[in-house]
Chains A and B, each alone.
Chain A
Amino acid sequence: MASKEPEKKADGNRVKKVHGNDSFQRMNYLYQISKHIADKNPALSAYYGNLIVSVAKKNVLKIHPDIKRQFCKKCRCIAIHKVTATMKVKRKNKSKTIQWTCDICGTKRNFPANEKHDHRLWLEKPEAVLEVIN
């Protein structure tokens, strides 16, 4: 589930593997268990979230924005609506934003969500995909 698209080729005719594959797998696994444990023990979920970020930092890898946006910026607990966070749609000057409030530390996070604008990230656009590696 971590970002896997634009990466380098492995050399020659060998089986193509993404650089840092095992770390991506590890982050993927940590993400899954962080989501699993969130409703029972938020502190552990935040611990796993912290670990994801530190693994990514140590290996100089990027976390896919979809994954990164699910973690609270401050305590790095995963945000699930009505479990560890609350989501609201807010209106301000005719523009809509989605506001996530973390229930553990109370941090608020806004994401723009207008119908008229194109809020797609660069990674979601079709021209971002260079090569698909399995």
Chain B
Amino acid sequence: MSAEETFNKEAANAIVGFLKSNLSKSGQLTIESELKKDFVLAKKRSKTKKKKKPHKKRVRCLTRQEKKSIGFYTIPRNGVKYNDVLPLNKIWLKYINDVLELDKPIPDRTSKSWETFTQTLFRADFHGSMLNVVRSKCPSYVDKCGICIMDTRNTFKIVSQDNVTTTIPKRECVFEIFLGKQKITIFGKNLCVRPAERSTKKIKGHIHPDL
């Protein structure tokens, strides 16, 4: 291969030399550019580099691996302190007061506004809420109490008072949510939607709970 290349180079040099010595003066000036001309259907193209426009770097989101290396997904069991998330609960109480308009009396179960009430509750955010597991298929989850810090499609992550983070599956549990003075009991089965999608989805008024 290399021998062939050197042969080709020598041949090219010989041709250039021949042209230089035999062309008229006007032709000699344009030899270089004429030799580098591209022919439309030619197999080989000359190697004149076209100037590329400086490609602007686009900032992309982190890939899953990069996220993992920073530690997005793994919240260590003792990583979050209860006192750190306590202010979240305070903000959450204000927020849920605004959203549900708790200063007004809670609408009657049979009235029309009951539906909008449940709808807004379903669309609200649960990060920072105080959760208590009332019933569960797995007995070890019962009576776990803490502040929710993460909300995925099928689980809640809560930080309990002794700084331990636990993951609780939603589907099998019944939760109690404290809203200041009131308490709301929610079947976790109804909440099995991704947190971002929940705000666009509609919930059915009555889902019969399994026994």
Q: Given the complex of chains A and B, what is the CA–CA distance between A5 and B103 in angstroms? A: 26
Q: Given the complex of chains A and B, what is the CA–CA distance between A25 and B71 in angstroms? A: 29
A41 touches B80 (CB 8 A): yes
A58 on the B face (CB < 8 A): yes
B108 on the A face (CB < 8 A): no
Q: Given the complex of chains A and B, what is the CA–CA distance between A37 and B147 in angstroms? A: 14
B59 touches A36 (CB 8 A): no
Q: Which of B59, B91, B195 contacts A33 (CB 8 A)?
A: B91
Considering only CB atoms, which chain B residue lies closest to A36 in the complex?
Answer: B87
Known contacts A23-B199, A51-B195, A74-B61; A36 and B71 CB within 8 A of each other: no
Can you list, as one digit per residue, whether each of A54-80 has a CB less than 8 Å from chain B (1) or not (0)? Answer: 110111000000000000011100000
Known contacts A41-B79, A58-B200; A29 and B59 CB within 8 A of each other: no
B39 on the A face (CB < 8 A): no
B81 touches A40 (CB 8 A): yes
With a CB–CB cut-off of 8 A, which chain A residues contact B79? 41
With a CB–CB cut-off of 8 A, which chain A residues contact B59? 73-74, 107
B199 touches A43 (CB 8 A): no
A43 touches B72 (CB 8 A): yes
A37 touches B88 (CB 8 A): yes
Which bracket fits the contact residues of B? 35 or more
A75 touches B84 (CB 8 A): no
Provide 25 A-B residue pairs closer than 8 Å at the C-beta atoms, listed in order of the A residue.
A22-B199, A25-B95, A26-B99, A26-B123, A26-B199, A29-B91, A29-B95, A30-B127, A36-B88, A37-B84, A37-B88, A40-B84, A43-B70, A46-B72, A48-B127, A51-B127, A51-B195, A55-B196, A55-B199, A58-B197, A58-B199, A59-B199, A74-B60, A74-B61, A75-B62
A interface residue numbers (CB < 8 A to B): 22-23, 25-26, 28-30, 32-33, 36-37, 40-41, 43-44, 46-48, 51, 54-55, 57-59, 73-75, 104-105, 107
B interface residue numbers (CB < 8 A to A): 59-62, 66-67, 70-72, 75, 79-81, 84-85, 87-88, 91-92, 95, 98-99, 120, 123-125, 127-128, 149-150, 195-197, 199-200
Nearest 6 A/B pairs, CB to CB: A54-B196, A29-B95, A73-B59, A40-B84, A26-B125, A33-B88
